[in-house]
């Protein structure tokens, strides 16, 4: 078998590794658009902060490690066109030379591209770019450009457009480097993937660490600042207090991603939600012998069906399935719940499953209850409160979603994983209390925090039913 994978990040590399695991005689080629295969894009903020001391440490595996598995890496090579009928992929190398790569099966893992919002100065015929101190952030090339601005431009201040996961991580990273940071979010509260009750707690954490936060504010334009201004760039923003101008030496725009589906679409692949490549649960496209996986494809969500949910964890799983099925296997992607966690200075926020409005849109009858619990017995030193939001179905009592916010040492990630496991297996909220979870006073309680949250939901949902 001759397998070609396009994309050197999570999905493409996972597909190639799985193929080599199953068939050591398979000829596996990975086409990588840059020179950085298998790098952790999720780790970029921690390289910017200095916690990861060298960019090479972001590699999950070195090029030598990957080649030692028997795969061939075609670095600095761009996939241009898929010839489905002839089973060939047209690529160009760094010098512009064209070549046709034959394949028996093709895995498309082209990932996602950063969204470029319609901000004057960011779009248009002559947009500002990295040389001006204006950056997007989604690749190692973007990372090196940010570092040049920080290290060569004598940057003292930064403005971040967007307060999602990457925006929050970069607010911490740039603060750690000693920059004064302003964060602007168009929606009413930061981290809009959790309920406002928890977003407000994240907001307070940012402010406590010196970040100026402006929510419900839209960035209208970015331009070079006039001579004598306290920053290289002037950012115009409109909010409840009217139009304001913020000056900064670096502007970072991180407002989400969109699927990079052009290669597959150009070959006739069907597209689905948000323009992502439509695939079945075996990661098959409608094109013969063409599979796709990762941030460029639609994702099966266990509670809502087909959606677009770009996550590194999902990309690894889908790539592995695509690689196996490219060899003739029959594995299915079990589905995602959108489980996520992010560290914000000393705290962490996490979610899995559905929030109340998402559950209602999916046809459930949701009840959402908020509560707090200690991460371990309060009499043992350094206990921390965890704020929780539980969503369950009023009629079936099925657990639909959980959100957590607590100290970074409060095992927030572990506890959201317990919830994700419960939702994955269709457990009711009541059944959370039957789980046999570990306990010792320095690390937990006889009733773990996730069970305290489940009990609060049971009490309040029962009360609300009795009043109906």
pLDDT at position 465 is: 61
Rounded to an integer, the average pLDDT of 403-424 is 98
Per-position b or e across 392-412, b if 16+ CB within 10 A of its CB: bbeeebbbbbbbbbbbeebbb
List the domains of the chain with CATH numbers: 2-42+55-113+258-326 (3.50.50.60), 130-253 (3.50.50.60), 340-467 (3.50.50.60)
375 with 402: CB under 8 angstroms? no
pLDDT at position 219 is: 97
- Reported as a single tens digit per residue, the pLDDT across 35-56 is 999 999 999 999 999 999 999 9
User: pTM, whole model, 2 decimals?
Assistant: 0.94
- Reported as a single tens digit per residue, the pLDDT across 263-297 is 999 999 999 999 999 999 999 999 999 999 999 99
3-class DSSP assignment, residue 2: strand
Per-position b or e across 426-444, b if 16+ CB within 10 A of its CB: ebbbeebbeeebeeeeeeb
Nearest CA-CA partner of 389 in 459, 450, 346, 444: 450
pLDDT at 398 over 80: yes
């Amino acid at each position: 078998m001759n397998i070609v994978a396009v994309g050197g990040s999570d999905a493409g590399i996972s597909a190639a590794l799985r193929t080599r695991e199953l068939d050591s005689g398979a000829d596996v080629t990975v086409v990588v658009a840059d020179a950085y295969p298998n790098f952790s894009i999720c780790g970029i903020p921690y390289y910017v902060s200095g916690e990861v001391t060298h960019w090479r440490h972001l590699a999950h595996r070195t090029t030598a490690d990957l080649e030692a598995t028997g795969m061939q890496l075609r670095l600095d090579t761009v996939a241009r066109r898929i010839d489905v009928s002839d089973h060939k992929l047209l690529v160009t190398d760094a010098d512009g030379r064209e070549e046709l790569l034959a394949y028996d099966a093709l895995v498309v893992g082209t990932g996602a591209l950063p969204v470029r919002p319609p901000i004057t100065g960011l779009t248009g015929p002559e947009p500002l770019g990295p040389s001006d101190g204006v950056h997007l952030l989604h690749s190692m090339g973007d990372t090196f450009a940010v570092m040049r601005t920080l290290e060569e431009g004598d940057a003292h201040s930064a403005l971040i457009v967007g307060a999602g996961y990457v925006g929050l991580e970069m607010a911490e990273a740039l603060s750690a480097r000693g920059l004064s940071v302003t964060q602007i979010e168009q929606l009413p509260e930061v981290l809009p993937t959790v309920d406002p009750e928890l977003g407000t707690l994240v907001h307070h954490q940012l402010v406590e660490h010196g970040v100026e936060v402006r929510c419900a504010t839209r960035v209208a334009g970015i331009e070079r600042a006039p001579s004598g201004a306290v920053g290289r760039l002037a950012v115009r923003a409109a909010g409840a207090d009217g139009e304001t101008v913020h000056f900064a030496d670096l502007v970072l725009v991180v407002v989400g991603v969109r699927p990079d589906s052009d290669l597959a679409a150009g070959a006739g692949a069907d597209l689905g939600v948000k323009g992502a490549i439509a695939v079945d649960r075996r990661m098959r496209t409608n094109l013969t012998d063409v599979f796709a996986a990762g941030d460029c494809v639609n994702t099966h969500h266990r509670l809502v069906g087909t959606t677009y949910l770009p996550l590194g964890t999902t990309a690894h799983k889908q790539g592995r399935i695509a690689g196996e099925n490219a060899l003739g296997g029959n594995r299915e992607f079990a589905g995602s719940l959108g489980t996520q966690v992010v560290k914000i200075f000393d705290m962490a926020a996490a979610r899995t499953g559905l929030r109340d409005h998402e559950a209602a849109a999916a046809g459930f009858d949701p009840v959402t209850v908020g509560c707090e619990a200690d991460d371990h017995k309060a009499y043992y030193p350094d206990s921390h409160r965890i704020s929780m939001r539980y969503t369950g179905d009023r009629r079936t009592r099925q657990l639909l979603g959980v959100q957590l916010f607590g100290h970074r040492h409060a095992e927030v990630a572990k506890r959201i994983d317990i919830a994700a496991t419960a939702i994955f297996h269709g457990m009711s909220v009541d059944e959370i209390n039957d789980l046999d979870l570990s306990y010792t006073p320095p690390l937990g309680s006889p009733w773990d925090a996730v069970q305290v949250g489940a009990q609060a939901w049971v009490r309040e949902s029962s009360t609300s039913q009795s009043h109906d």
